[in-house]
């Protein structure tokens, strides 16, 4: 949340709704905040994609990655892990020349290695969704911080997830990245207090969440 004052609270936007202080006014960011961030995801492929993209964010802003998400999907074959795990040296070279993504060799190599590690988990009993959600016992952890200063950057759940992912061969999965990932896919719902998208029963965002789970 670089660039956001630590004492910042949910901010009122032009449409009259209060949103988390980190959201800003960029329409793409607002749409992401309102319809995706904090909404539980329980599909293997979507979880794998988001884990990769959160790793791509390391050292950058999420908006930078969000603006390139479609380019990432195109470049990495829709994050089809079976294809990614078989990428050749020539394919890696093309990725590193692609202006639509962040051309960082370590991150590109991590995506490919993570695809192989992901496939290993999927070959075991269970699936990737259950594997990841076990770190919150299958439930959504809800917090309602008043100010940005109260928003966490890690937790015991993200610590545990990070350790286990690393042991399985994943890269760019430090605890801070894992915590941001858990927030993004709704394992941790940490919309600020008074943000309209808080998942209180019956809230507009709760209805959005219900639709997305169908």
CATH number at residue 75: 1.10.340.30
Domain-located, residue 89: yes
Per-residue pLDDT in tens (0 to 9) along the chain, 214 residues: 667 899 999 999 999 999 999 999 999 999 999 999 999 999 999 999 999 999 999 999 999 999 999 999 999 999 999 999 999 999 999 999 999 999 999 999 999 999 999 999 998 877 999 999 999 999 999 999 999 999 999 999 999 999 999 999 999 999 999 999 999 999 999 999 999 998 544 444 554 444 343 3
3 within domain boundaries: no
Whether 37 is catalytic: no
**1 part of a folded domain:** no
Residue 8 counted as domain residue: no
Q: Which of 32, 36, 45, 150 is catalytic?
A: 32
Residue 106's domain comprises: 40-213
Residue 34: inside a domain? no
Q: Which of 22, 37, 54, 72 is catalytic?
A: 54
Of 22, 29, 37, 62, the active-site residue reads 62
Q: How many domains does the chain have?
A: 1
C-beta pairs of 98-101 under 8 Å, 24+ apart in sequence: 98/71, 100/68, 100/71, 100/72, 100/74, 100/75, 101/56, 101/68, 101/71, 101/72, 101/75
**Is 9 inside a domain boundary?**
no
The structure's pTM equals 0.92
Catalytic residue at 32? yes
């Amino acid at each position: 949340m670089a660039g956001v004052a630590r004492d910042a609270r949910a901010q009122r936007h032009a449409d009259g709704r209060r949103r988390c202080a980190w959201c800003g006014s960029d329409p793409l960011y607002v749409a992401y905040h309102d319809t995706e961030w904090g909404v539980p995801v329980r599909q293997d492929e979507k979880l794998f994609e988001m884990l990769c993209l959160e790793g791509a964010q390391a050292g950058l802003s999420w908006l930078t990655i969000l603006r390139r998400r479609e380019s990432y999907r195109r470049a990495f074959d829709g994050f089809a892990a079976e294809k990614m795990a078989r990428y050749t040296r020539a394919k890696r070279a093309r990725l590193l020349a692609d202006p639509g993504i962040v051309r960082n060799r370590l991150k590109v190599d991590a995506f490919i290695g993570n695809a192989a590690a992901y496939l290993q988990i999927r070959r075991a009993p269970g699936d990737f969704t259950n594997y990841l959600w076990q770190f919150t016992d299958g439930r959504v952890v809800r917090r309602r911080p008043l100010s940005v200063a109260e928003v966490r950057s890690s937790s015991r759940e993200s610590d545990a997830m990070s350790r286990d992912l690393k042991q399985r061969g994943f890269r760019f999965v430090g605890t801070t990245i894992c915590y941001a990932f858990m927030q993004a896919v709704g394992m941790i719902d940490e919309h600020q207090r008074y943000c309209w998208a808080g998942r209180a029963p019956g809230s507009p965002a709760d209805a959005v969440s219900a639709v997305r789970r169908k």
